[in-house]
Amino acid sequence: MITNKQSNFILKGQIIYSKPDWSVSYNENAYIVCEEGKVEGVYENLPDAFKAYPIIDCKEQLIIPGMSDLHVHAPQYPFRGLGMDLELLEWLNNHTFPEEAKYQDITYAHKAYSIFVDDLLYSTTTRACIFATIHPEATLDLMSQLEASGLYTYVGKVNMDRNGSPRLQEESAAASYKATREWIISANKSFKHTLPMLTPRFIPTCSDELMNKLHTLQTEFNLPLQSHLSENLSEINWVKQLVPTSKFYGDAYHQFGLFGGEVPTVMAHCIYSPEEEIKLMKQNNVYIAHCPESNTNLSSGIAPIRKYMEEGLNIGLGSDVAAGTGLSLLKSMAMAIQVSKLYYCLVDQDKKPLTTEEVFYLATLGGGSFFGKVGSFMPGYAFDVVVIDDSAIKAPRSLSLKERLERILYYSDQVQITEKYVDGQKLKIASK
């Protein structure tokens, strides 16, 4: 919920943000000026020009950019932390599809989505790319709750016309196209910062006919797209059988004109992407949503993020609930570091583990750039801000801001989110 219409104001506190060159700027007892929803600047000493603006003193608290969750499944929130003993395809059939089928029931959907939205609101996330289910009514309900929250999101009604389950599958490609088109029109009419996104679940659940129809919709409405890519070895083999003309998994999207290029596209996982796929992602500006917790829980593997960074690909983080157990991107940051260490020692010693500052970039500016000028406090960026009280993490000496940033990743369950702004608007978050 939005509580504050004031457009010019200042936060004072311990300000940390990433810059486009991946360096991190640490600013003790500094001021960040918001003008008309944008960051005007960060100052050690407040210039006279801003002396009339109201100052909110956050004291010792950390002030960081809001984070972008590039991949999360809202309807899977009810079974988070359950069913972690299976790999992807069995997990989908045994846990995911039965749960998602329940969203046919709008009463259940509304209740489940309200829990999800409340918890997302109380997190460091300010923007997200969200999967819903195949059900248009429930998806619109999720979107209206997100809109009311003040968060900025893309949401996808999921497409699946094959290999679902008897209770979770659209009748035909034509039925999926029709329902999706009507949903897009309805969403475009109803919401300002909760936008529709094309969401073919993944190649195994979308027929060639459906993929062609989604391309038609993309051309008609110019919508961004999200899906899954190269997550699991059995899945990758299956895609080869289902689309025999594809040279690699990404090519199966590309053949239907659904692999980036003109429109923003984000693919989750990319654990086993071959060189040609990496090349095409780079060429087509496809974003990678790195989901380290999910990749660990479903025994999927370790994505070579250092390699992707060296290649200059666009990368952000995803919680991938419910293969990831929760919405905390602070936890995802810690896990991104941890799995990169396993990759380094078990797979390739040329690929150095990720650092705190690098994963901070991925969670803020890396993913934020999918939404425009988002995820930094450089002048002109959206004023997306999270204020964090880390005083419960006790220490017998004072810590530097760099040390405090590192600590909040590993003790994410001990921090309190006290204030949150998106585009300069203060959100109403319930304290936990």
96 binds ligand GUN, rule: CB under 6 A: yes
* Burial state string for 79-92 with b = 16 or more CB within 10 A and e = fewer than 16: ebeebeebbbeebb
Residue 431 CB burial class (10 angstroms; 0-12, 13-18, ≥19): exposed
> How near is the Cβ of 77 to Fe ion at its closest, in Å?
13
> How near is the Cβ of 336 to ligand GUN at its closest, in Å?
16
Q: Is 149 left (phi over 0), alpha (psi -120 to 50) or beta?
A: alpha
> How near is the Cβ of 202 to ligand GUN at its closest, in Å?
4
Q: Which residues bind Fe ion (CB under 5 A)?
A: 268, 320
Side-chain-facing half-sphere of 199: CA atoms under 13 Å = 26
Token pair of 179 as six digits: 């329902």
Q: Which of 73, 254, 306, 420 binds ligand GUN (CB under 6 A)?
A: 73
Q: Select the binding partner of residue 229 from Fe ion, ligand GUN, none (C-beta < 5 to 8 A, by kind).
A: none
323 binds ligand GUN, rule: CB under 6 A: yes
Would you say 199 or 364 has its CB closer to ligand GUN?
Answer: 199
Would you say 64 or 268 has its CB closer to Fe ion?
Answer: 268
> How near is the Cβ of 318 to Fe ion at its closest, in Å?
7
Token pair of 108 as six digits: 């259940």
Q: Which of 69, 320, 358, 384 binds ligand GUN (CB under 6 A)?
A: 320
Interatomic CA distance for residues 272 and 278, integer angstroms? 10
Q: Which of 294, 319, 376, 425 binds ligand GUN (CB under 6 A)?
A: 294
Contact of 289 with 268, CB cutoff 8 Å? yes
Would you say 100 or 119 has its CB closer to Fe ion?
Answer: 100
Contact of 232 with 88, CB cutoff 8 Å? yes
> How near is the Cβ of 93 to ligand GUN at its closest, in Å?
11
Would you say 11 or 120 has its CB closer to ligand GUN?
Answer: 120
70 contacts: CB under 8 Å, gap ≥ 6: 128, 129, 266, 268, 287, 289, 316, 317, 318, 367, 370
Would you say 68 or 297 has its CB closer to ligand GUN?
Answer: 297
Judged by DSSP in three states, 302 sits in: coil
92 binds ligand GUN, rule: CB under 6 A: yes
Q: Which of 69, 99, 231, 384 binds ligand GUN (CB under 6 A)?
A: 231
Is the C-alpha dihedral spanning 342, 346, 348, 352 positive or negative? positive
Would you say 269 or 420 has its CB closer to ligand GUN?
Answer: 269
Interatomic CA distance for residues 62 and 58, integer angstroms? 8
Contact of 42 with 30, CB cutoff 8 Å? yes
Name the segment binding ligand GUN (CB under 6 A); options: 88-96, 101-109, 329-337, 358-366: 88-96
> How near is the Cβ of 201 to ligand GUN at its closest, in Å?
5
Would you say 13 or 324 has its CB closer to ligand GUN?
Answer: 324
Tell me the Cα Rg of the chain: 21
**Single-letter amino acid code for the residue at 329:** L
Q: Select the binding partner of residue 409 from Fe ion, ligand GUN, none (C-beta < 5 to 8 A, by kind).
A: none
Subset of 195-214 contacting ligand GUN (CB under 6 A): 201-202
Residues that bind ligand GUN (CB under 6 A): 73, 88, 92, 96, 201-202, 228, 231, 294, 320, 323
